[in-house]
Structure 1
């Protein structure tokens, strides 16, 4: 029996594209507010609003849209036209309706690992939007469990891997965010595998835990099954 029994996957920017659509919408937002604020200043104000509102709105498109509206009102001193607010709302709606685009190797890797391990999807964000994306991804039937959470903390991982596996110390979490996917998992004794994405939200950035014995980084998902096999072989009891 190996000590590695359960593989957890992040969703956004690990299995399918996400941040790309936020960046495109942010560019559109800058165009709409060009008469009121330079793009760089607007970006800083929007990021500050997102950070300030996380506790109330949580992660996801709806919170992002509300933060854009709040920022538009702030930078225009309340003079932003109703038509612009309408455009912002339309942009948020388009994000919620955008088709899911899987990242390279996502389907093959989850399928391969599901043959030998329990696989769990652990993602944060808006419940309805994440359920929609999972359904459209075609990956839903591969997972032994799905957790859509408001945030990712050591306590969340401890509970999720106890509920769907044999404990966090026998689990591995895969994701593009060091802050959300890797560091909290390492904190509860599990493995953390970082798969960097070309675009990373500023609020998800963190320093890598260089030298940690259960931390690994791969360039994309393709080598993950071999890495998992090596880890399992090296921790047989």
Structure 2
């Protein structure tokens, strides 16, 4: 007999509120500022390579993104990038760090609905201060029984989180827009993984859907979550 679902984890960025859209807008501005030195496609590839290199140093989030933009600007201009461009990149990062939160459709209703019957945990990665700011501004903070801001999302991390906040991963569900970070490792830990696609997903978060996984589910949006949770029991 299947274990009863008791604990539900939610990803934050691009699952409960908009995030990647602001990175894309800033990246477009970055391309405009460096247009005299590199074409947009090449610049995008160089920036992505810098972000991949720098995750181990800076982690995930806006601060690492800005530092990667500055590093890329220095590379493509042979260290001749004007100081005014660096200043604009820093200002763009500061603007991102103060941008108002925009909840995604059905986010509040979905969390409220499952919080009535299950423990709900926020599991997110990124810069600590920025994630705390976004949660506070979202108005959803009081709905969560626990909040975990981690440097990486792996099956071992989910196992620890759901053991600490619930009854173990085999009685837990993780919901998010990233197959790589939210869904696949949660299933590998023994839980349910629910994929809710977002129109924009960072290239480094792409992964294939887990074929044949009994505990994998896909929803078009969070509006279908309460019915799915009820069906699982």
Please give the TM-score of this superposition, normalised by the length of structure 1.
0.97
1:229 aligns to what? 230
Q: Give yes or no for the alignment of 1:50 onto 2:51.
A: yes
Q: CA RMSD in A?
A: 0.9
Distance 1:183 1:113 in 2: 22
Question: What is the aligned partner in structure 2 of residue 101 from structure 1?
Answer: 102
- Corresponding position of 2:175: 174
Q: Return 171-180 or 210-219, whichever deviates more.
A: 210-219
Superposition pairs of residues 88-167 of structure 1, within 5 angstroms? 88-167=89-168
TM-score (norm 2): 0.99
Contact 2:3 2:170 in 1 (8 A): no
Tell me what 1:78 maps to.
79
Partner of 1:235: none
Q: Aligned partners of 1:69, 1:124: CA distance in 2, in Å?
A: 22
1:59 CA displacement: 0.1
Aligned counterparts of 1:225 and 1:208: Cα–Cα separation in 2 = 22
Q: Which runs of 4+ in 1 moved over 4 A?
A: none
Cα offsets for 1:161-205 (capped at 9, x unmatched): 011110001000000000000010011110000000000100000
Partner of 2:35: 34
Q: How many residues align?
A: 232
Question: How many angstroms does 1:2 deviate by?
Answer: 5.9
Task: Give unmatched runs, 5+ long, in structure 1.
Answer: 233-237
Matched residue SS, 2:110: helix
Q: Separation in 2 of the partners of 1:92 and 1:188?
A: 35
The DSSP-based 3-state class of the residue aligned with 2:8 is strand
Separation (CA, whole Å) in 1 of partners of 2:120 and 2:95? 31
Deviations 1:56-88 (A, max 9, x none): 000000000000000000000000000000000
